[in-house]
Structure 1
């Protein structure tokens, strides 16, 4: 039988939370039906029930109780193994998660600094769906992430803001507001919006500007990636807020972007797992801050 580390991470999260909902939304940042499906598959593979479920409670079965300390130990052993292999490998990879194209001159500068200080490392970039607001950190898919705030709260993640940018709006070409130089947010509140998936949580609400509304946003559609979002806008389904720095990156003839007044700015951050103390992670994070914040060299 083949058991993946991801399945063990999912099992441990549910076992520690004793709630599929909390494990999915607070620990793993995936949809709850997806988590339930993965746990059922793990139980089928192991041929044992790991949880007793009813409408209100989740408890471990004897088999689940027996597996929990072993699963924790296996995950810890693998983490130790990964760290040790980094020290012995001739060249190691630091995987960077992102959800919108990074741009801003960040990657050439960070790559050059990492090459200078740690030539044994190379960077690999992986685009992650908006459905995961940690941009792949929670699942272990990436080592560091360049992500938008608000970032999920919790001691397991650390982050530093590296850029603050005004929020703009993307409109379909020919929209009634497309000729305006600046658009007050009050004139957008009744527009249909393209939203991030519900699992994005506070990040979805930020890009809908929920805190600045007196009534809930009209959500016309959801999109899992930036490319899907702008395709929906171009098709006339709705409008979407975006950061000023992404305006040039996602420029296309069938979409018009304009600055929006009446909103606090967006913030871009570099994030990592708090317990990941590898020097390459520190160098990457510090290089992001130096590049976009113009921080002095230490």
Structure 2
């Protein structure tokens, strides 16, 4: 059976971290059992044991040591190949691919487009919506060049970012919800509500929009949604509630959903994100244009 590049990527993460837990949570944003299963399948396909592991330690076997530099090279070559193919498919007109997971709105894109036309004539923006299963909004696999994304994003050193807006968290409620008549809602009143969650692969971003750091007990998750359209469909049908940014509440008016400010929560941060080390002028112009348009918060980065 042929080995998938994804499995090699998983192997490299575990080999570099020497921890299934850290690799799963901090590098790959998948569950530890899912990662362990993929590594076992890789070992089965290769018919070698790659790790010696017990409850406390993980070490590479001789076969694992031999595979590591080869796996790194294969993953890097595939990433470079994929980026080259995407650029070739774009044709002769230079384009910057922008990833997003929720509606960007906020007047950002017209301002950025105008600024890029001024500084980089001939360039255009291509927008790609990426499901929340990918916490890098398309950057990890080279699907996009930059992204406008909510923090947190993976903090492994592979990505850099700049905060362009801080917004309060609101709640999206079914229109007939018992709290819909309130002008604002204390988070304590939402603690036991059924929540629509991002996929488990979203990692810390899922935790943030469930406000786990403000809870004394686990969230009551009744469904998962991979896109914003799925989220609002679930809320509108009465299945549950979800936290959203103030700007996204304004950008998504719906007949069967109401939005209310939530007290007792820290704000959310919207950032422009790029691959660390990508110094192309188009990337720098996009970042600076986003910052000058929306920046209401200090710069931050990995």
TM-score by length of 1: 0.82
Residue 105 of structure 1, aligned match among 107, 113, 125: 107
How far off its partner does 1:33 sit? Answer: 5.1
2:28 corresponding residue in structure 1: 28
Once the 2 structures are TM-superposed, how far is the Cα of residue 174 of structure 1 from its aligned partner? 0.9
Distance in 1 of aligned mates of 2:122 and 2:52 = 48
Aligned counterpart, 2:137 = 135
| 1:155-181 deviation per Cα after TM superposition (whole angstroms, max 9, x unaligned) | 222111111112211111111121222
Distance 1:114 1:160, change over 3 A: same
Counterpart of 2:72 in structure 1 is: 72
Match of 2:153 in 1: 151
Q: Which residue of 1 aligns with 2:300?
A: none
Change (3 A) 1:211 1:120: same
Number of residue equivalences: 294
Q: Which secondary structure state, in structure 1, belongs to the residue aligned with residue 248 of structure 2?
A: helix
Other-structure match for 1:248: 250
Deviation at 1:75, TM superposition (A): 4.6
Q: Which moved more, 1:97-106 or 1:111-120?
A: 111-120
Query: Equivalences for 1:20-59 in 2 at 5 Å?
Result: 20-32=20-32, 34-36=34-36, 38-39=38-39, 49-52=49-52, 57-59=57-59
Given that 1:146 and 1:268 are in contact with CA atoms closer than 8 Å, whether structure 2 keeps it comes out as yes
Cα distance in 2 for partners of 1:164, 1:170 equals 18
Classify 1:83/1:205 alpha carbon distance in 2 versus 1 (closer, same or farther; 3 Å). Answer: closer
SS of structure 2 residue aligned to 1:137: coil
How much has 1:43 moved relative to structure 2? 5.2
Q: How far apart, CA to CA, are the structure 2 residues paired with 1:201 and 1:26?
A: 8
Q: CA RMSD in A?
A: 3.2
The superposition leaves residues 67-94 of structure 1 with CA deviations (integer Å, 9 ceiling, x where unpaired) of 22233344556677889997xx844443
2:278 aligned partner? 276
Pairs within 5 Å for 1:81-100: 90-100=92-102
Of 272-281 and 44-53, the range deviating more from structure 2:
44-53
CA–CA distance in structure 1, aligned partners of residues 198 and 79 of structure 2: 32
State whether residues 29 and 138 of structure 1, in contact with CA within 8 Å, keep that contact through their aligned partners in structure 2.
no
TM-score, with structure 2 as normaliser: 0.81
C-alpha distance in 2, partners of 1:214/1:7?
Answer: 36
- Structure 2: unaligned runs, 5 residues or longer: 298-302
Structure 1: gaps of 5 or more residues: none
Q: Determine if contact 1:151/1:203 at 8 Å carries over to the other structure.
A: yes
How much does 1:268 deviate?
A: 0.7
